[in-house]
Amino acid sequence: MTPWLDALSWLCLLSGGFFCIVGAIGLLRMPDFYTRMHAASVVDTLGAGLILLGLMLQAGFTLVTVKLLMVGILLFFTSPTATHALARAAMLRGLQPVLHKAEDESSKR
């Protein structure tokens, strides 16, 4: 493996890991169900995609790369679909998003 391909692979792996960590922090820091779900789904798809791309670059042109590509395609389609289904179920159940926090009358003065 050439050094630049190895460096590109590690860059993809590290950035994918970074995005997964940011998604995990978003799960903890966001105020309600819908924003937590958004943070997890968007970042999870990007993080997993970059990690899979880095692993594909490490594997070269082998059967492992084809399998990783299939896993990536599966994640690319199922993650947004599952997130949409979960949000729709929560909305039909009556869970309302937090649009803003009520302010005290004393803080306005």
Residue 100 domain-assigned?
no
Residue 16 domain-assigned?
yes
Residue 21 domain-assigned?
yes
Residue 106 domain-assigned?
no
Predicted local distance difference test score (pLDDT) of residue 8: 95
The answer to whether residue 105 scores a pLDDT higher than 50 is: no
Domain with 74, as residue range(s), is 3-95
Percent of the chain with pLDDT strictly greater than 70:
90
The answer to whether residue 10 scores a pLDDT higher than 90 is: yes
Residue 102 domain-assigned?
no
Round to whole Å and give the CA distance between 60 and 20. Answer: 24
pLDDT digits (tens, 9 = 90+) for 20-73: 998 889 888 888 899 898 888 888 889 999 999 999 999 989 999 999 999 999
Higher pLDDT, 43 or 7: 7
Assign 108 a pLDDT band (cuts: 50, 70, 90): low
Split into its structural domains, the chain has a count of 1
Residue 46 domain-assigned?
yes
Q: Count of residues for the chain?
A: 109
Written in H, E and C, the secondary structure of the chain is CCHHHHHHHHHHHHHHHHHHHHHHHHHHHCCCHHHHHHHHHHHHHHHHHHHHHHHHHHHCCCHHHHHHHHHHHHHHHHHHHHHHHHHHHHHHHCCCCCCCCCCCHHHHC
Residue 105 domain-assigned?
no
Residue 103 domain-assigned?
no
